[in-house]
Amino acid sequence: MARFEKDFLLGAATAAHQVEGNNTNSDNWVQEQMAHSSFTEPSGNACDHYNRFAEDIALMAKAGLNAYRFSIEWARIEPEEGVFDEKETAHYRDVIRCCKDNGLEPIVTLHHFTSPVWLIRKGGWEADTTPTDFARYARYIAEQYGSELQYICTLNEANMGIQIAVVAQQIFQAMVAAGKVQVGVNLEDLMKGNPLLAQENMAVFGTDRPAVFVSPRTPHGDEIVMQAHAAARKAIREAAPHIKVGWTLSLHDVQAVPGGEAKAVEEWDQEFSHYLPVMADDDFLGVQNYSRTLIGPNGSLPVPDGAEITQMEYEYYPEGLAHVLRRVAKDFHGDLIVTENGIATADDSRRAAFIDTATQGVADCIADGLPVKGYFYWSLLDNFEWQKGYAMTFGLVGVNRETQQRQPKASLSFLGTLR
């Protein structure tokens, strides 16, 4: 069992849209309501974390955790372009204060997949205006809360749109089975395309293919994402120079089988290496790993026969986290924070076992001199797993969908004993 120093950031992570409920000004909310939506169900009240954050934060503190990674919802803070909402600004001030009162370090993410509807109407994550819009919001957050924060993640999984584009392409070519991207997206639906959904998108966003953050991204969109990160980092540093800034990446443990070596290098470059120039000035990298991907000569291979499978249909492979940390540390020289690592399972003993192996890997990396400063389990709560709805249970804490009652699991106490 791993043991971390007292100042190691040990916590859990959530994202606003997945837990708060009624995030009505966001692109996701609108897409969930569409008659021909690809979402299996709408987010609705989610976990009502917007109202119950104090109870949830207290649960983490009671278990022994000392940090909480959560996201601020841009669509709440800036529901209309250039208009900042004071009530919502006060809400997140309360959340930050509550973390501190409970002895938890707040690690804030500015963007976790969801965007204001107005941004998507302007062209979203393919538009040249987005970096400026994102930096304005980032500056506002740094000005409002900067004195209370030590860490800001600009974008969650900046590479997700590229990963989705790659897998969508592979599905298109019938090379792999769906379920490989590290997030709950119904890729087959996405690829089939639905003319009725396209009409609904046209009515709301003015385009049949809205460039939301988790759309298949073009190389131009990838540039926009990098520019948005750099612009936000600059704005944050101008407003609050003491804050450590980074972004997070979805990183598979990419492993080549014989013959797949060249393809595996290509895959890793798309997922990680080509971002090194824009990350060179970051203080830290948020590493997010859930499993491994085996690569053959033509790309991703199915999960090996007989392997244990999680609810997300990827392989149970907690060893992947340490492999990824070691790999990124060769090229990225800032601090590393595991901003997400977790498993969707109904069997909480497998969750505790997963955490045990993964965190032991982290402890070994630290013993070998890697600058790993924190570990955040995904997720604190059983929550809204995007297009896959509420069926995926990643949480350290169960949530009764009727009553919203919290049910802390043994894995929460286990995580808390590691420091």
Rule CB under 6 A: say whether 88 interacts with ligand BGC. no
Cα gap 360→351, rounded to integer Å: 14
Three-state DSSP state, 335: strand
Phi then psi dihedrals of residue 78, to 5 deg? -130, 70
Tokens for 331, please give them: 């090229």
> How many other C-beta atoms lie within 10 A of the C-beta of residue 363?
19
Rule CB under 6 A: say whether 378 interacts with ligand BGC. yes
Cα gap 238→295, rounded to integer Å: 43
Choose the binding region for ligand BGC from 79-87, 125-133, 182-190, 366-374 (rule: CB under 6 A). Answer: 182-190
Longest dimension (CA), the chain: 57
Q: How far is the CB of 247 from ligand BGC (least distance, A)?
A: 12
Q: Which is nearer to ligand BGC, 144 or 387 (CB)?
A: 387
The amino acid sitting at 124 is G
Choose the binding region for ligand BGC from 20-28, 179-187, 208-216, 404-412 (rule: CB under 6 A). Answer: 179-187
Of 66, 130, 163, 250, the one binding ligand BGC (CB under 6 A) is: 250
Question: CB nearest ligand BGC: which residue?
Answer: 183
Of 67, 183, 240, 243, the one binding ligand BGC (CB under 6 A) is: 183
Q: Can you spell out the DSSP letters for 116-149?
A: BHHHHHTTGGG-TTHHHHHHHHHHHHHHHHGGG-
Residue numbers 216-245 binding ligand BGC by CB under 6 A: none
Inter-residue contact 92 to 145 (CB < 8 Å): yes
Choose the binding region for ligand BGC from 43-51, 94-102, 178-186, 298-306 (rule: CB under 6 A). Answer: 178-186
Rule CB under 6 A: say whether 156 interacts with ligand BGC. yes
Cα gap 63→283, rounded to integer Å: 29
Rule CB under 6 A: say whether 249 interacts with ligand BGC. no
Site string for ligand BGC, 13-32 (x = CB under 6 A): --x--x--------------
Rule CB under 6 A: say whether 184 interacts with ligand BGC. yes
| Helix axes of 219-239 and 130-145: crossing angle, nearest 10 degrees | 30
Residue 407, Cβ density class (10 Å: 0-12 exposed, 13-18 middle, ≥19 buried): exposed
Residue 90, Cβ density class (10 Å: 0-12 exposed, 13-18 middle, ≥19 buried): exposed
Q: How far is the CB of 225 from ligand BGC (least distance, A)?
A: 15
Of 49, 167, 385, 409, the one binding ligand BGC (CB under 6 A) is: 385
Q: How far is the CB of 16 from ligand BGC (least distance, A)?
A: 10
Rule CB under 6 A: say whether 130 interacts with ligand BGC. no
Sheet containing strand 253-256, edge to edge, reads 253-256, 292-296, 299-300
Q: Which is nearer to ligand BGC, 23 or 288 (CB)?
A: 288
Of 66, 170, 182, 215, the one binding ligand BGC (CB under 6 A) is: 182
Q: How far is the CB of 206 from ligand BGC (least distance, A)?
A: 26
Q: Which is nearer to ligand BGC, 155 or 226 (CB)?
A: 155
Tokens for 161, please give them: 């749109």
Residue numbers 338-377 binding ligand BGC by CB under 6 A: 340
Site string for ligand BGC, 275-294 (x = CB under 6 A): -------------x------
The alpha-helical segments, DSSP class H, found in 348-394 are 348-367
Inter-residue contact 191 to 171 (CB < 8 Å): yes
Three-state DSSP state, 1: coil
Q: How far is the CB of 393 from ligand BGC (least distance, A)?
A: 11
What DSSP element (H or E) covers 337?
Answer: strand 335-341
Choose the binding region for ligand BGC from 85-93, 180-188, 263-271, 409-417 (rule: CB under 6 A). Answer: 180-188
Q: How far is the CB of 289 from ligand BGC (least distance, A)?
A: 10
The site for ligand BGC (CB under 6 A) is made up of 15, 18, 156-157, 182-184, 250, 288, 340, 378, 385
